[in-house]
């Protein structure tokens, strides 16, 4: 059996995090990595202790759910909360970051953004990443199988 690559490993982690999302519109996960070590993870959902979209529906203003904190922001805030430096780190995200997350990623000092799926890729975000010298690369998640120990059938992600 061939070992999973680092990119696939971290992207799989982001997809796993997305399963915790409480958003009804799009499940997103993000993993921040520095020197091949996971330093934070996040998924899109409501503020701690708040009402969740899966319970009461999305709170949409101007086409955006304002109840939800994006996965990238949650991961970055986790680093801030616990004093973990993000300078020079990489972020693996299930979907292309929105404009606001793009700006936060740049300001945090993250140098590389890997994303699995295009999602309303904002041309200004692309320009900002380029001007800031942030490398952006699409890394689609390949087939991943998890073999359960209890004798159940393998679970495939696709």
Catalytic residue from among 2, 24, 56, 72: 72
**What secondary structure letter does DSSP report for 45?**
B
153 catalytically annotated: no
Residues 110 and 88: their CA atoms lie apart, in Å, by: 5
Distances (CA, A) of 67 to 25, 47, 49, 62: 12, 8, 12, 13
Give Cα 6 to chain centroid, integer Å.
16
Distances (CA, A) of 86 to 35, 53, 70, 94, 158: 11, 29, 17, 19, 32
How many CB atoms within 10 Å of residue 52? 17
Q: Which residues are catalytically annotated?
A: 72
């Amino acid at each position: 059996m061939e070992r999973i690559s680092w990119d696939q490993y971290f992207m799989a982690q982001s997809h796993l995090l997305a399963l915790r999302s409480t958003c009804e519109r799009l499940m997103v996960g993000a993993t921040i990595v520095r020197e091949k070590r996971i330093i934070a993870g996040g998924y899109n959902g409501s503020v701690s202790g708040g009402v969740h979209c899966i319970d009461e529906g999305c709170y949409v203003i101007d086409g955006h759910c304002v109840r939800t904190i994006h996965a990238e922001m949650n991961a970055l805030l986790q680093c801030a909360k616990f004093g973990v430096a993000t300078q020079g780190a990489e972020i693996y995200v299930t979907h292309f970051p929105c404009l606001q997350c793009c700006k936060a990623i740049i300001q945090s000092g993250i140098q590389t953004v890997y994303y699995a799926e295009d999602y309303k890729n904002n041309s200004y975000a692309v320009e900002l990443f380029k001007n800031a010298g942030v490398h952006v690369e699409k890394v689609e998640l390949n087939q991943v199988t998890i073999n359960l120990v209890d004798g159940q059938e393998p679970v495939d992600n696709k």
